[in-house]
Amino acid sequence: MKQYTGRPASSGIAISAFTEWSSGQLSVEKKQNQNVDQELARYEAAKDEAVTELGELYTKAVQEVGEEKAAVFEVHQMLLMDTAFTCSVQSIIREQSVNAEYAVDQTGQELAAMFEAMDDEYMKARSADMKDIAGRVVRILQGSAECSGTLEEPCIIIADDLSPSETIRLDKSKVLAFVTRQGSLQSHTAILARTMGIPAVVGVPIPKYASHQSGTCIVDGNQGNVYIETAEDARTDGKEWQNLLNQYQEKQAVDQKQKQLLQQLKGKPIYRKDGSQMKLCANIGGVSDIDAALLNDADGVGLFRSEFLYLKSADYPTEEEQFAAYKEAVEKMDGRQVIIRTLDIGADKQIDYFNLEHEDNPALGYRAIRICLTREEIFRTQLRALYRASAFGNLAIMFPMITALWEVKRIKEIAAEVREELIIGYTAATNQEKEDTTLRNTETYRKTLEGVPLGIMVETPAAVMLSEELAKEVDFFSIGTNDLTQYTLAVDRQNRNLEKFYDAHHPAVLQMIRMTVENSHKAGIWTGICGELAADVSLTQTFMEMGVDELSMSPSSILKVKHELLCK
168 binds ligand PEP (CB under 6 A): no
Cβ nearer to ligand PEP, comparing 195 with 448? 195
Q: Give, for 561, the enclosing helix (H) or strand (E).
A: helix 558-567
- Given ligand PEP, Mg ion, none, residue 531, with its beta carbon under 5 to 8 Å by kind, binds ligand PEP
530 binds ligand PEP (CB under 6 A): yes
Cβ nearer to ligand PEP, comparing 303 with 548? 303
CA distance 529 to 509: 12
Show the beta-strand stretches assigned E in 323-412: 338-341, 395-399
One-letter amino acid for residue 394 of the chain: N
528 binds ligand PEP (CB under 6 A): no
CA distances from 255 to 61, 119, 404 (A): 41, 63, 45
Cβ nearer to Mg ion, comparing 19 with 478? 478
Beta-bridge mates of residue 477: 456, 527
Return the residue of 483, 532, 536, 549 that touches Mg ion, per CB under 5 A.
483
CA distance 418 to 424: 10
Q: What is the DSSP letter of 241?
A: H
Residues 293-312 that bind ligand PEP (CB under 6 A): 303, 305
Q: DSSP string spanning 449-480?
A: HHTS-EEEEE-SHHHHHTHHHHTTT-SEEEE-
Least distance in angstroms from the C-beta of 344 to Mg ion: 6
460 binds ligand PEP (CB under 6 A): no
Are the C-beta atoms of residues 89 and 43 closer than 8 Å to each other? yes
492 binds Mg ion (CB under 5 A): no
Least distance in angstroms from the C-beta of 460 to ligand PEP: 10
Cβ nearer to ligand PEP, comparing 100 with 303? 303
CA distance 468 to 195: 32
Least distance in angstroms from the C-beta of 309 to Mg ion: 17
Instruction: State residue 509 phi and psi, 5-degree precision.
Output: -70, -45
Return the residue of 19, 482, 494, 520 that touches ligand PEP, per CB under 6 A.
482
**Active-site annotation holds for 188:** yes
CA distance 282 to 534: 10
Least distance in angstroms from the C-beta of 536 to ligand PEP: 12
CA distance 31 to 88: 17
CA distance 325 to 286: 8
CA atoms 290, 292, 293, 294: torsion sign = positive
Are the C-beta atoms of residues 75 and 133 closer than 8 Å to each other? no
Number of residues that bind ligand PEP (CB under 6 A): 10
Catalytic annotation, pick one of 76, 188, 281, 372: 188
Cβ nearer to Mg ion, comparing 80 with 529? 529
Least distance in angstroms from the C-beta of 523 to Mg ion: 23
Cβ nearer to Mg ion, comparing 20 with 344? 344
Residue 446 class from Cβ within 10 Å (0-12 exposed, 13-18 middle, 19+ buried)?
middle
183 binds ligand PEP (CB under 6 A): no
Return the residue of 53, 229, 297, 483 that touches ligand PEP, per CB under 6 A.
483
Least distance in angstroms from the C-beta of 35 to ligand PEP: 50
6 binds ligand PEP (CB under 6 A): no
Residues 341-380 that bind ligand PEP (CB under 6 A): 344
Among the residue ranges 10-18, 144-152, 374-382, 475-483, the one whose residues contact ligand PEP (CB under 6 A):
475-483
One-letter amino acid for residue 14 of the chain: A
Cβ nearer to Mg ion, comparing 107 with 283? 283
- Given Mg ion, ligand PEP, none, residue 8, with its beta carbon under 5 to 8 Å by kind, binds none
Least distance in angstroms from the C-beta of 482 to Mg ion: 5
Least distance in angstroms from the C-beta of 137 to ligand PEP: 38
Least Cα distance to 301 among 311, 313, 314, 287 occurs for 287
Question: 507: which residues sit within 8 A by CB, 6+ positions away?
Answer: none
Question: 334: which residues sit within 8 A by CB, 6+ positions away?
Answer: 393
165 binds ligand PEP (CB under 6 A): no
**Active-site annotation holds for 147:** no
| 46: helix, strand or coil | helix
Catalytic annotation, pick one of 217, 281, 372, 530: 530
CA distance 315 to 110: 31
Cβ nearer to ligand PEP, comparing 305 with 496? 305
- Given Mg ion, ligand PEP, none, residue 530, with its beta carbon under 5 to 8 Å by kind, binds ligand PEP
Question: 477: which residues sit within 8 A by CB, 6+ positions away?
Answer: 455, 456, 457, 458, 467, 470, 471, 516, 520, 525, 526, 527, 528
Number of residues that bind Mg ion (CB under 5 A): 3
459 binds ligand PEP (CB under 6 A): yes
Residues that bind ligand PEP (CB under 6 A): 303, 305, 344, 459, 480-483, 530-531
Residues labelled as active-site residues: 188, 530
Residues that bind Mg ion (CB under 5 A): 459, 480, 483
